[in-house]
Amino acid sequence: MHVATDNGSIVGGAGAFQFDLTVPGGSVRTAGVTVVGVLPSHRRRGILREMMRAQLDDIQERGEPLAALWASEASIYRRYGYGLAALCGDMNIPRTHSDFVRPVERKGTVRIVGHDEALTLCPAVYDRVCAETPGMFARTREWWKSRVLDDPEWRRFGGGELSVAVLEEDGRPQAYALYRLNFSYEDGVPTGKVVVLEAMGAEPEAEIAVWRFLLDIDWMASIEAELLPLDHPLLLLAAEPGRLRFRVGDGIFLRLVDVGAALAARSFATDDDLVFEVADTFCPWNDACFTVRGQKTMGEPDLRLPVDTLGSVYLGGFTFRQLARVGRVEEVSEGALDRADALFRTERAPWCPEIF
Ligand SMILES: CC(C)(COP(=O)(O)OP(=O)(O)OC[C@H]1O[C@@H](n2cnc3c(N)ncnc32)[C@H](O)[C@@H]1OP(=O)(O)O)[C@@H](O)C(=O)NCCC(=O)NCCS
C-alpha cells in the first residue's frame, strides 16, 4: 500500500497485490493494482498522480514488468500508461431458451461439495486453466480461502449461499462452478435465478458439461453470469445466441512497466522481428526503441506507438490493426501492422475471471 497523508491523517491510498499473471507462453510477475482512492475532501489536487508515480517507481524497482488493474473510472488510467487489455461479457439466459444447437454427450459426474473439499478440487482445475489463459493470475490457498470461497452474509446480496459443483471424470476434477441459487416465485411460478460466480473446465467437454449442469437446475427461471471471456463456448453452442443476452464491457487494463522485460517474457507466434518506437512520458525509462523480443535498439522503427497501445495488444485482446484504426499506432514501414499482428497472435482471448 501507498498512502497519502495530510497533517498526519491518511487521505488517500493505492495498493498492489503481487501476482503471477499468465501471458502468452508463460507467466510474469505483475502488480495487481487495487483499492485506489482519495478522500472527497482532497480530490483534484494531484494526490492520485503522486501515488501513481510512487507506485510505478516501486513496481519497477521490485522488478515486476507488468501492472494490471480493473478500472471503475476507466478514463483515469491511460495517462499513466495503462491500455485496455481485455474485454469481458455478462450473460442473462432464460432457462426456457437455453438449448444447445446440438445435444452434447454428458461427460463425467457432477458432485456438490462442501467448501473444505472445494479448497482442494477447484484449484486443481483453476491452475490448469490459468496456465493456458493469458490474463489469469495464480491464486494462493489463502486467496481461495479468504477471497473466493469465503461466503459472509454481506456478499450474498440477499441471495443463496455459495454452492460449489465439481465435475469429475475417473475421480479427477475437470471442471467446477461456484454459484448461488436465488429463489423467488410470482403467482406460484418460479422466477428465481442461478447466479454464476465462476465456472470453468480444464477440458472443453468438461467446461460444456458444467455449463449444461448450471442451465438445467430446476425451479430457476434464468442464469446470470459476469466476467466471461469473449470466446466463451456458449456463444457457439447456444441454439439461440441472442437469448444469452451477451453484453460486452471492459476487462483488465495492463501497463508495461518495463517494456524490455515484458516483451522478453512472452512468446510470439512467428520468428519475425520488428522495431517499436515507444513513447512513454510517465515512465521515461521505456521511452526508446525496442525489438519485439525486448532489446533496446538504435534501429529504425517499424511501428510508432504510445506505451498504452502495447498494454492493449500484449495479451492478445486487441490487434495492432484495430489500434491503428483509432490512431493509437503509426505504421512506419509498409506491412509492419500485419507482421506485428502475426507475431502477437494468440489462441485464446485473454480472460481475467475475477475483479481484484
Ligand atoms: C479517482 C480519484 C482516485 C482521483 O484522485 P485525485 O487525487 O482527485 O486525482 P488527481 O488530482 O491526482 O488527478 C489526476 C488526473 O486524473 C484526472 N481525474 C481525476 N479524477 C478523475 C475522474 N473521476 N475521472 C476522470 N479523470 C479524473 C485529473 O483530471 C488529473 O488529470 P491530469 O493529470 O491529466 O490533469 C479520486 O477522485 C477518487 O478517490 N474517486 C473515487 C474512487 C475511485 O474512483 N477510484 C478509482 C478506482 S479505479
Q: Which residue has the cell 466476467?
A: 227
Residue 316, judged by CB atoms within 10 A of its CB (0-12, 13-18, 19+), counts as buried
What is the Cα–Cα distance from 320 to 338, expressed in whole angstroms?
8
Give the distance (Å) from ligand 1 centre to CA of residue 75: 9
Centre of ligand 1 to C-alpha 50, Å, is 11
Q: Which among 48, 53, 77, 281 is the best mutation to test ligand 1's pocket, defined by most ligand atoms within 8 Å of the CB?
A: 48
**DSSP labels, 289-302:** EEETTS-B--SPPS
Q: Which of 17, 19, 77, 253 is catalytic?
A: 77
Q: What pLDDT is attached to residue 104?
A: 85
For residue 105, the model assigns a pLDDT of: 82
pTM: 0.96
Instruction: Per-residue pLDDT tens, the chain, 356 aa: give them.
Output: 999 999 999 999 999 999 999 999 999 999 999 999 999 999 999 999 999 999 999 999 999 999 999 999 889 999 999 999 999 999 999 999 999 999 888 789 999 999 999 999 999 999 999 999 999 999 999 999 999 999 999 999 989 999 999 999 999 999 999 999 999 999 999 999 999 999 999 999 999 999 999 999 999 999 999 999 999 999 999 999 999 999 999 999 999 999 999 999 999 999 999 999 999 999 999 999 999 999 999 999 999 999 999 999 999 999 999 999 999 999 999 999 999 999 999 999 999 999 99
> Ligand 1 center to residue 40 CA distance, Å?
10
43 lines ligand 1 (CB under 6 A): yes
Interatomic CA distance for residues 138 and 140, integer angstroms: 7
User: For residue 210, how far is its CA from the centre of ligand 1 (angstroms)?
Assistant: 41
In the chain, the amino acid numbered 37 is G
Closest C-alpha residue for ligand 1 atom 43: 37
356 is catalytic: yes
